Structure 1
Amino acid sequence: MTYKKATNESTSKKVATIASNLLRNPKTPAAVKAVAASALTQTQNKSKKK
């Protein structure tokens, strides 16, 4: 079964922080790092004003 992500959903700041910490930890298993990286790709993009 394939699930389609809604376009208005994104990873929360709290989850993104946890995912970042998992990616930085060298003892984190590869499977967990893959999930954490996926979560980070779904974070909100903050546009910077020039």
Structure 2
Amino acid sequence: MAKGKKESGDKMSTLASKVLSGKKKPTKTEVKSLAASVLGQDETKGKKSKK
């Protein structure tokens, strides 16, 4: 993996796919893990424009 590049792991990608397709209802822990994964990939942290 390239330095500084952020990616979800295979487990998170598979979990997200199953949840979004309706094949799995996530537990609270899984929801938190998915949210953390998404927020960890946010490249615009602190760069929000004012509208």
TM norm structure 2: 0.40
